[in-house]
Amino acid sequence: MHNIIGKVRAAIDKYKMIDQNDKIAVCLSGGKDSMFLLYALNQIKFYYPKIFEIVAITIDPCFYGQHTDYSEVERLCSRLGIKYKIKRSRLGDLIFNERKEKNPCSLCARMRRGILHDLAKELGCNKLALGHNLEDSVETFFMNLFDCGRIGCFSPVTYLSRKNLYMIRPLIFCSEAKIDSFVKQKNLPVVKSTCPVDFNTNRQTTKELIFNLEKKYPNLRLKILGAISRSNIDGWKN
């Protein structure tokens, strides 16, 4: 189990994600990736050579007009001594009822990011930690290639000049399977998504494609991640 936290530390060190006296907002969706991210950063801060603080933040889209129950997440944050802030929003109603978006994921992601950035700044944070894992990196690469005809991926570290805020992705070396195993062994709470299009998205289709390709090309995801990290894709080569 310590090996996967070591991979988080490796990503942080390689891409210089954490500096002295950083205040980092950890984005909690309630899914396994974000819960592991919170737990791992909380462990790392006790022995990391640079002092940093973490707070946890959640944007509740309130799908179907209902508040999501994050009570177990609140209890975990309380046990770990981490400040936790939930921001309720109208994203669900706006996207699915008012705008009736046929392809809602992109708009939802953009709007959620904007709310996250504002909340992180409101809490005095200079960095926002996101739970994108190894598979997310590879899937994003494929989606950029297939949907947009370009070679690209999100960066391990992104600076938002308009907000004076850094986004960091410490889980880029962590596989989804290892994260899932860790979360189960530690009995970390996971909040089931109530999104109406969950598991029926372009990303899910891409995930299934890569899974099938890997039957013929073993370790394909690791090979692609290695290629990305050696490429000139913005922010990856270090």
178 in Cβ contact with 134 (< 8 Å): no
- Extended strands (E) in 111-154: 127-129
Per-residue pLDDT of the chain (238 residues; tens, 9 = 90+): 569 999 999 999 999 999 999 999 999 999 999 999 999 999 999 999 999 999 999 998 888 888 999 999 999 999 999 999 999 887 777 777 776 666 777 777 888 889 999 999 999 999 999 999 999 999 999 999 988 899 999 999 999 999 999 999 999 999 999 999 999 999 999 998 887 776 667 888 899 999 999 999 999 999 999 999 998 888 898 6
The pLDDT of residue 199:
62
Rounded to an integer, what distance in angstroms lies between the CA atom of residue 32 and that of residue 118?
A: 24
List beta partners, residue 165: 160
Q: What is the pLDDT of residue 104?
A: 75
* Full-model pTM: 0.92
pLDDT of residue 84: 97
pLDDT at position 2:
64
pLDDT for 119 equals: 95
Q: Enumerate domains of the chain plus CATH numbers.
A: 2-230 (3.40.50.620)
pLDDT for residue 24: 98
Whole-number Å distance between alpha carbons of 235 and 178: 25
**How far separated are the first and last CA of the chain, in Å rounded?**
27
Q: Under 8 Å CB-to-CB from 193, ≥6 apart: which residues?
A: 29, 30, 31
Q: What is the pLDDT of residue 1?
A: 55
